[in-house]
Amino acid sequence: QKEVEQNSGPLSVPEGAIASLNCTYSDRGSQSFFWYRQYSGKSPELIMSIYSNGDKEDGRFTAQLNKASQYVSLLIRDSQPSDSATYLCAVSGLNTGANSKLTFGKGITLSVRP
Amino acid sequence: DGGITQSPKYLFRKEGQNVTLSCEQNLNHDAMYWYRQDPGQGLRLIYYSQIVNDFQKGDIAEGYSVSREKKESFPLTVTSAQKNPTAFYLCASSIDSGLAGSNEQFFGPGTRLTVL
């Protein structure tokens, strides 16, 4: 049974701070890693994908992957109140076929205080 | 406008009724997925389809059925056999070509089903 674990929340940070969201996964064969943002009552929105060890930056977001430790994280710099949402970590195997199915963590709710 | 549409946005069902949720995409994606989300829970996979006229059960397929007669459409039927159907239902699609990044899944706006 593939598992994806996220820190239990909620996480609260002041505006302008760095928010750090963490995720661990059980399947060592996982190849693809995703972060989704979900506002209350809305559907998830893909904000970051990462496939190789190291960091990947996109604007204020940085995804970090460490396959040896089976750990993926999302850093949000200069946090804004509009970043307040639930963040879902998702993991999958190969890029296609049955192994492309995503396994989701339960999500962590981030609250950015003005 | 390219995207994924789901209808209806809200659906109310009486116990013992079957209901069908619509999912349509014009992204030319090969793969489509149905998830269920309960409060405070992550997404759980119900069914997925990687090609027309073929689909596979996900982790919680009991009480659900699907069809994939067209590439663009992947309707989900919630049958009376599903004991706890009240949930937020999300449809997603991906290119699924085998190339890097092709398994990124994009979601529709969702259907919120309530059993009365």
Encode pLDDT of B11-30 as tens digits: 998 888 999 999 999 999 99
Q: How confident is the model at residue B1 (pLDDT cuts 50, 70, 90)?
A: low
Secondary structure (3-state) at B62: coil
CA distance B59 to chain A (A): 10
Is B10's Cβ below 8 Å from some Cβ in A? no
Task: Identify the closest residue of chain B to A94 by CA–CA distance.
Answer: B98
pLDDT value at A99 more than 60: no
Q: HSE of B15 in the Cβ direction (CA atoms, 13 Å)? A: 3
Contacts of A49 in chain B (CB under 8 A): 101, 104
**H or E element that contains B25:** strand B19-25
Contacts of A95 in chain B (CB under 8 A): 96-103
Give yes or no for a contact between A15 and A80, defined as CB atoms under 8 angstroms apart: yes
Is A42's Cβ below 8 Å from some Cβ in B? yes
Encode pLDDT of B49-102 as tens digits: 999 999 999 999 999 999 999 999 999 999 988 889 999 999 999 987 766 677
Query: Shortest CB distance from A104 goes to which of B42, B98, B109?
Result: B42
Encode pLDDT of A17-48 as tens digits: 999 999 999 988 888 999 999 999 999 999 99
When comparing pLDDT for A23 and A2, which is higher?
A: A23
Secondary structure (3-state) at A97: helix
